[in-house]
Amino acid sequence: MEATTEDRITTLLDAFEVAWSGPSALAFGVVIAPDGHYEDPLLRGPLRGPERVAQHAARLRVAFPDLRFERSGPPMAGGLLLSQGVRLSGTHRAELGSIPTTDKEIDLHAVVVAGLSTSGTRLSHVRIFFDRYDAAIQLGVVPRPRSLAERALLALRGFGIPRLP
């Protein structure tokens, strides 16, 4: 019996979730096409191939050793495109780029938009969207809106002391 498109999409999304949430980044080879590309807000440009995505995931797992990647709701698919809402959560335990360890938890809502390879067995391109500003607030990199810290920062930058609504 041949798998339906819905079954194949579910299988791919299961594998993608395991690749992000599991201890081994090698699982990306099962889900991303050899010439596939990947993008997310933490990157300066797209990554090509599952090995590069696995390296990126491994770096993120060092910074967030308890990283959880959980699907939220059913996927949406049409033709060779699919999207899936996800939650990304974990505790920041190691330096991430220029951001020192904060030991703060993050909980981000994100959307994965992906294209299926023509065979429908792997993802040919993947792009994850999430709010970098919200992540920076949760990590304490920038002050929360309308906080005393934000008001002080604006005053230091020469914008005066804004009134709270």
Per-residue pLDDT tens over the stretch 20-51:
987 776 799 999 999 999 999 999 999 999 99
Q: How far apart are CA 156 and CA 150, in angstroms?
A: 10
Determine if residue 89 is left, alpha or beta; phi over 0 gives left, psi from -120 to 50 gives alpha, anything else beta: beta
d(Cα 28, Cα 35) in Å, to the nearest integer?
12
Helix-helix angle 50-63:5-21, to 10 degrees: 50
Residue 2 pLDDT greater than 60, yes or no: no
Predicted pLDDT of residue 134: 96
pLDDT at residue number 1: 34
What sign has the CA pseudo-torsion 42, 90, 137, 111? Answer: positive
Could you report the per-residue pLDDT of 115-158, keeping only the tens digit for each? 999 888 899 999 999 999 999 999 999 878 877 777 777 777 78
Does domain 5-130 fall under CATH 1.20.120.1200? My reply is: no
Query: At 63, is the pLDDT very low, low, confident or very high (cuts 50, 70, 90)?
Result: very high
**Mean pLDDT estimate for the chain:** 90
Residue ranges per structural domain of the chain: 5-130
Residue 92: how many other CB atoms lie within 10 Å: 23
Distances (CA, A) of 48 to 22, 39, 154: 21, 9, 40
Question: What pLDDT shows up at residue 157?
Answer: 76
